[in-house]
Amino acid sequence: MINLEVPRKFSALVNQARQVATEIFRPHSRRYDREEHSYPTELDMLAAVLDGMNASGESGAGATGVRRERSAGNGEVRNGNNLATVLGTIELCWGDVGLLLALPRQGLGNAAIASVANDEQLERFRGRWAAMAITEPDCGSDSAAIRTTAVLDGDHYVLNGEKIFVTSGERADAVVVWATLDRRRGRAAIKSFVVEKGTPGFELVRLEHKLGIRASDTAHFRLDNVRVPKENLLGSPEIDVERGFAGVMQTFDNTRPLVAAMAVGLARAALEETRRLLAEAGVTVDYDRPAHIQPAAAAALIAAEADWEAAYLLTLQAAWMADNHKPNSLQASMAKAKAGRVATEITLRCVELCGGLGYGEHTLLEKWARDAKILDIFEGTQQIQQLIVARRLLGKSSQELR
């Protein structure tokens, strides 16, 4: 196996994240899976600790995402905040994905703000918990087909539309809403707006009941003439047809490696638990012998671990490229596609290998199998990621390759 070492500067962070996963996330994992929509109060103290770490410069233990920084331009290689966040996320999701997503002030909307906000906005929204609202009832994987509108009226934009599947939507302080300034202008007109909770017309319709990640709330919102200060538009208000969708889509270059990291952490938990249960049953995996002359269960585990290793390395690559100011849209999609698929396949395979112990509530294997599926769906489905990868490799536009 090729398992690159964690940079020494991140060792303390990784150890802290693993301790949180072991002592807080894993022990409460089953409880909040059963008590869907109950807020995990244990996370409040942990959120305060993470705030202190981020304030002291030890970022990376949460899921906030980070602002892309320029390298020195002299060939210097950086191991920065993107890689730190990915490594911390892997460890925390070894504990529980739903509880990570439920962490205060660590929402995907925070990643959007970190990616494209100006300095004034970064300061103004500091310490806020931001969810992100992209998906609509008539707009699933094709985020360019967004119908929620934003019309400038004096010092405010007026937003109208509907948003579904908003992670942490009820609990967050604000929601980053994607809307179009002009449907006729296509992708280039789509912008993101920070909508504060409590704004008139911003209505919570319902909370969804889900297959997995039940510790995290998932909301459905309706926007009815919601007035948002024009200063809450992230990025430039200009409709730049040449640059197109790039400004808004930059958010995904940060969040897709994070989702890949979630999948990598969850899949590792399943592999470790399966290896332990197989050993108890007398099936020992021998990495010095060819897989085909070992028991079938051991051979299956070896194959799954190799698949996991590929997802892990792709995830690290995407994060490292962001830290070193290299375009990483292709690598972010490759990591998300591979890790999302691997997490789903590995967890189901582990359930199968462990039989009754995997299918029942004796272990967390069946829960991990349910949690894994969302990681292959949100932030762009498996099919969408493969389409993006194909376009990048073939040099095709979205109009040329649909």
- 240 found inside a domain: no
In this structure, are 186 and 301 located in the same domain?
A: no
In this structure, are 144 and 61 located in the same domain?
A: no
- 402 found inside a domain: no
The structural domain count of the chain equals 3
pLDDT in tens, 41-72: 999 888 877 766 555 455 544 444 445 555 44
* DSSP H stretches of helix in 22-178: 26-34, 42-55, 81-95, 97-101, 108-116, 119-124
In this structure, are 253 and 380 located in the same domain?
A: yes
Residue pair 169/210 in contact (Cβ under 8 Å)? The answer is no
pLDDT band with cut points at 50, 70 and 90 for residue 3: low
| Single residue among 234, 259, 291 that ends a domain in this structure | 234
pLDDT in tens, 100-130: 999 998 888 888 888 888 999 999 998 899 9
3 state SS of 146: coil
- 401 found inside a domain: no
* Residue 47 pLDDT: 80
In this structure, are 337 and 278 located in the same domain?
A: yes
In this structure, are 206 and 166 located in the same domain?
A: yes
Closest CA to 320 of 68, 12, 112, 80: 80
Round to whole Å and give the CA distance between 286 and 354: 18
The β-bridge partners of 361 are none
- 224 found inside a domain: yes
Closest CA to 315 of 337, 293, 284, 295: 337
* Residue 245 pLDDT: 57
User: Tokens in use for 106?
Assistant: 């660590």
Residue 183 belongs to domain with CATH number: 2.40.110.10
| Single residue among 121, 141, 170 that ends a domain in this structure | 121
- 239 found inside a domain: no
Q: How far is CA 192 from CA 118, 134, 182, 245, 324, in A?
A: 13, 9, 13, 11, 25
Pairing type for strands 202-207 and 190-196 reads unpaired
- 253 found inside a domain: yes
Average pLDDT value for residue range 239-263 = 78
In this structure, are 67 and 180 located in the same domain?
A: no
Residue pair 215/367 in contact (Cβ under 8 Å)? The answer is no
- 40 found inside a domain: yes
* Residue 196 pLDDT: 97
Residue 312 has pLDDT above 70, yes or no: yes
Round to whole Å and give the CA distance between 225 and 139: 20
| Single residue among 59, 91, 121 that ends a domain in this structure | 121
Round to whole Å and give the CA distance between 332 and 248: 15
Contacts of 243 (CB under 8 A, 6+ apart): 188
* Residue 79 pLDDT: 87
Closest CA to 228 of 196, 205, 204, 198: 196
Residue pair 189/239 in contact (Cβ under 8 Å)? The answer is yes
In this structure, are 340 and 286 located in the same domain?
A: yes
In this structure, are 79 and 163 located in the same domain?
A: no
In this structure, are 137 and 104 located in the same domain?
A: no
Catalytic residue among 91, 305, 366, 379: 379
* Residue 172 burial (C-beta neighbours within 10 Å; 0-12, 13-18, 19+): buried
Domain range for residue 139?
Answer: 130-234
* Residue 139 pLDDT: 83
* Residue 72 pLDDT: 44
In this structure, are 141 and 179 located in the same domain?
A: yes
Whole-prediction pTM: 0.92
**Which amino acid is present at 10?**
F
Question: Would you call 379 a catalytic residue per the annotation?
Answer: yes
In this structure, are 148 and 265 located in the same domain?
A: no
- 58 found inside a domain: yes
In this structure, are 383 and 269 located in the same domain?
A: yes
